[in-house]
């Protein structure tokens, strides 16, 4: 699935791309990017959430360049490693300006977003490190907004020792249910209703342990040892067994291993999957994710992404690390996240957050 957000500002066209550009989506991509006024002289593509581009997508850039003329500029920003390798291999870096240099000046930081598990909350000590608590208090006193960005629900967060932190918002369910400091919803990104029909059938078939999560309720179809052991390893709680009542679904969980994860990934057209445990995955809308949650937050509070910083450690933090003005991986983070981060700090239990904030002169 491909999502394209286009805006025109004087002589520049801005495109925010989410998904894959391949043989199935390249025609849509081509039509969207070539449908711009002749007065436009520069096209800027935000590739933060572009997962891959194939030859069909590359041809669309050639068509755009041919239509608009040799002096027409194309810039691709926040390009991930795979897409950048495609551009380099095909020589497209000669016709596309690759702008991957992050603005590492943190002096104008107005909001910082934190993953919870392995970032704020240490599973080793079962607590938030004191150095982190002290650092967040200093940031709060400076007027910097502090926001949790997690795959957990607000119900699960309430069971962890994080709710007494000086927080200004909660981007829960991987950024798909956004709550303000009073825990009131101000934005949401539910899964497409047609896809929910399939997810509900998976839930009712009860072949795998499966959780449906709405705005207020979450329920599981059945509980087995895999569910119990997975939740114990992450300090997670087990939802009540229940029945789907027709509400909007913002996230699903499945307690499965690699083969079943791959099957679900290939089967679900309008959802994407991230892992948070060897036997635990999140299923969210293709248009969702932590980056989308951050985008909703900065829109709500009239900030710019260049004024943001994000901290994470897991696979489901990659999109927010790419999106934020400055992305920081904890030393205990997965290698894929470290590769995308602007800065890699020390482990969570070695004053990781505090050390990074000192590095950027924020505390």
Helices (H) and strands (E) in the chain, counts: 12, 19
| Edge-to-edge strand ranges of the sheet holding 177-180 | 185-188, 177-180, 169-172, 145-149, 111-114, 308-312, 326-329, 343-344
Contact 316, 347 (CB under 8 A): no
Phi–psi pair at 285, nearest 5 degrees? -60, 145
| Neighbouring C-beta atoms of residue 193, cutoff 10 Å | 10
348 and 362 in contact (C-beta within 8 Å)? no
Structure token pair of residue 54: 């194939």
Per-residue pLDDT, 77: 87
| Annotated domain spans of the chain | 2-99, 111-189+289-359, 193-285
- In this prediction, residue 249 carries a pLDDT of 96
* 110 in Cβ contact with 145 (< 8 Å): yes
Query: Domain 2-99 adopts which CATH fold?
Result: Transcription Regulator spoIIAA (3.30.750)
Nearest to 74 by CA among 112, 107, 106, 33: 33
Report yes or no on whether pTM surpasses 0.75. Answer: no
Q: What is the pLDDT of residue 101?
A: 65
Q: What's the token pair of residue 341? A: 């981060």
pLDDT at 119: 98
pLDDT of 234 reads 84
Q: Is 1 helix (H, G, I), strand (E, B) or coil?
A: coil
Please, what sign has the CA dihedral across residues 296, 3, 304, 161?
positive
Q: What is the CATH number of domain 193-285?
A: 3.30.1240.10
Question: Which of 271, 289, 286 lies closest to 3 in space, CA to CA?
Answer: 286
Sign of CA dihedral 96, 101, 103, 105: negative
Q: How far apart are the first and last CA of the chain?
A: 42
Q: Can you tell me the distance from the alpha carbon of 339 to that of 263, in angstroms, rounded to the nearest whole number?
A: 27
* 234: enclosing H helix or E strand: none
pLDDT, residue 104, reads 60
Please report, in tens digits, the pLDDT of each residue of the chain (363 residues total): 788 988 888 889 999 898 899 999 999 999 999 999 989 999 999 888 898 999 999 999 999 999 998 899 999 988 888 999 999 999 999 999 998 765 567 888 999 999 999 999 999 999 999 999 999 999 999 999 999 999 999 989 999 999 999 999 999 999 999 999 999 999 999 999 999 999 999 999 999 999 999 988 899 999 999 999 999 988 888 999 988 989 999 999 999 988 898 999 889 988 988 888 889 999 999 888 999 999 999 999 999 888 999 999 998 899 899 889 899 999 999 998 998 898 999 999 999 999 999 999 999
Mark 261-297 as b/e (b = at least 16 C-beta within 10 Å): beebeeebebbbbbbbeebbbbbbbbbbbbbbbbbbb
Q: For the purposes of burial, counting CB atoms within 10 Å of the CB of 104, is it exposed (0-12), middle (13-18) or buried (19 or more)? A: exposed
The confidence score (pLDDT) of residue 5 equals 84
Give the domain 111-189+289-359 fold. Answer: Rossmann fold (3.40.50)
């Amino acid at each position: 699935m491909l999502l394209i957000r286009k805006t025109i500002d004087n002589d520049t066209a801005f495109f925010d791309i989410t998904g894959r550009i391949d043989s199935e989506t390249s025609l849509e991509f081509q039509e969207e990017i070539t449908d711009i006024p002749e007065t436009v002289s520069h096209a800027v593509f935000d590739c933060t959430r572009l997962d891959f581009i194939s030859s069909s997508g590359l041809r669309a850039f050639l068509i755009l360049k041919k239509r608009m003329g040799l002096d027409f500029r194309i810039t691709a920003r926040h390009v991930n490693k795979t897409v950048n390798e495609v551009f380099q291999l095909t020589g497209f870096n000669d016709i596309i300006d690759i702008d991957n240099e992050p603005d590492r000046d943190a002096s104008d930081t107005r909001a910082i977003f934190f993953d919870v598990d392995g970032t704020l909350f240490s599973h080793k000590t079962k607590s938030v490190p004191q150095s982190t608590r002290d650092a967040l208090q200093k940031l709060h006193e400076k007027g910097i907004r502090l926001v949790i960005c997690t795959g957990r629900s607000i119900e699960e967060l309430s069971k962890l020792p994080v709710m007494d932190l000086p927080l200004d918002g909660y981007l829960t369910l991987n950024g798909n249910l956004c709550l303000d400091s009073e825990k009131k919803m101000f934005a949401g990104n539910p899964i497409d209703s047609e896809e929910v029909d399939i997810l509900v059938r998976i839930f009712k078939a009860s072949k795998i342990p499966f959780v449906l999560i709405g705005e207020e309720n979450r329920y599981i179809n059945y509980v087995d040892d895999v569910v119990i052991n997975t939740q114990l390893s992450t300090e997670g709680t087990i939802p009540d067994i229940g029945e789907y009542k027709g509400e909007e679904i913002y996230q699903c969980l499945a307690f499965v291993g690699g083969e079943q994860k791959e099957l679900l990934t290939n089967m679900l057209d309008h959802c994407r999957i991230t892992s948070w445990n060897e036997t635990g995955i999140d299923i969210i809308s293709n248009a969702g994710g932590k980056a989308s949650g951050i985008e909703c937050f900065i829109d709500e509070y009239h900030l710019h992404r260049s004024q943001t910083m994000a901290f994470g450690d897991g696979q489901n933090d990659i999109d927010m690390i790419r999106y934020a003005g400055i992305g920081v991986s904890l030393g205990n983070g997965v290698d894929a996240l470290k590769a995308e981060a602007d800065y890699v700090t020390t482990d969570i239990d070695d004053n990781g957050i505090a050390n990074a904030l000192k590095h950027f002169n924020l505390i």
